[in-house]
A and B are shown apart, each in its own frame.
Chain A
Amino acid sequence: MNGFSFDQRAFRTGATDIIALGFPGIPFGMVIGVVIAESGIGSLVGWVGSWVILAGAANLALLELMAERTNAAIVLLTVAFINSRHAMYSAALRTRFVGFPRWFRYVGPYFLIDQVFALAASQPDDMAARERLWNYFGSAMTLWTMWVASVTAGILLGDVINPDWHLAFAVPLLFTGLMLLSITNRPGITAAAVGGGVALLTADFPQGSGVIIAILAGVSAGAIAETRSEGAT
């Protein structure tokens, strides 16, 4: 791990920057905890599963399907489908982690939650590799802790969140903000508009397949817009 020794400042920056992004996940994690407690699959296996899987939407689908005693193959296919979004995150970050230590490239992706991706993708291109690595781990471990604590609280405390507080609304608020922060040029606006528009049209598609279609449409539109703008200049 030559050249990648612990960088406390980068770790702390990553940890601090992710906290605000983690807050909207707290009610969601608690809902998953409540569903675990009510699903009848067993609190221990449900709790372990929440940090083995570490992906809210897929975890919730898994719990709902397992509570209905769905065939395991269908459960796993559903999880794979919902999580195919993460393969796109992985592809988008690939070039940023080339040349990083092997242990990092194996361990790091375990933590690749949406918010961790948002922060990693928003770092400047010229950030030093060592700083990038420890910033990633700072954000990853902090969000991991917040997530597992929320699920645990949901299992132990039950349904304590009053729906009248509308805390679930923090999720679209957060992702709207992340979307706006991730737009750095005109094709980015096109990508977001097409991605969001297609997602609305496909919102009724089963098991989140609409989101995948929307992302593919959005990134294609972005690439096409970028190619066109280059052709025009």
Chain B
Amino acid sequence: MSTWATVFAAGAITYLTRASFIVAGDRVGFPPIVERSLRYVAPASFAAIALPAMLGGDRFASFGDDWPRIIAVCVAAVIIVRWRNVPASLLAGMVTLWLILGLT
């Protein structure tokens, strides 16, 4: 398979996973318990992405100890819960991390 064909096939696969249920629309239906579980896709998946990345499982993130990151996440979390402001929480979390790493 050529490079181009592989790349386009990968794009098609990605599209099909994303389109699957939205295109099917009301032609499919789930049992109530499944429909209920789908309400929790957002909290479950975002937690599943965030936690391993935060605690060093992420291969782009080569940090030292865990604790500066944990403190920075807590600062960002307080801002999110209190003011529901994503840009402010990102900025506060990054600045906290830089300060801790700069001072230690």
Q: Which A residues lie at the B interface, using CB under 8 A?
A: 20-21, 23-24, 27-28, 31, 41-42, 45-46, 48-49, 52-55, 58-59, 62, 66, 72, 75-76, 79-80, 83-95, 97-100, 105-106, 108-110, 112, 114, 117-118, 121-122, 163, 166-183, 187-189, 191-200, 203, 210-211, 214-215, 217-223, 226-227
B40 near A222 with CB under 8 A, answer yes
Q: How far is the CA of A111 from the CA of B4 in the complex (A)?
A: 21
A176 near B101 with CB under 8 A, answer no
* Residues of A close to B37: CB separation below 8 A: 219-220, 222-223
A85 near B73 with CB under 8 A, answer no
* Residues of A close to B6: CB separation below 8 A: 62, 66, 72, 75-76
Per-position binary interface string of chain B over residues 18-47, scored 1 when its CB falls under 8 Å from any chain A CB and 0 otherwise: 111111111010100111111111111111
CB A45 to nearest CB in B, in angstroms, measures: 5
* Residues of B close to A76: CB separation below 8 A: 6, 9-10, 13
A170 near B94 with CB under 8 A, answer yes
* Residues of A close to B9: CB separation below 8 A: 72, 76
Q: How far is the CA of A191 from the CA of B10 in the complex (A)?
A: 30
The 6 closest A-B pairs by CB, nearest first: A218-B44, A222-B40, A52-B11, A195-B44, A196-B47, A191-B40
CB A132 to nearest CB in B, in angstroms, measures: 13
User: Does B49 lie at the interface of the complex (its beta carbon under 8 Å from any beta carbon of A)?
Assistant: yes
A53 near B43 with CB under 8 A, answer no
Which among B14, B25, B26, B47 is the interface contact of A54 at CB below 8 angstroms? B14
**Among A182, A188, A227: residue with most chain B CB under 10 A:** A182
A49 near B10 with CB under 8 A, answer yes
**Among A94, A117, A197, A203: residue with most chain B CB under 10 A:** A94
With A75-B6, A105-B22 as given contacts, are A192 and B43 in contact (CB-CB < 8 Å)?
yes
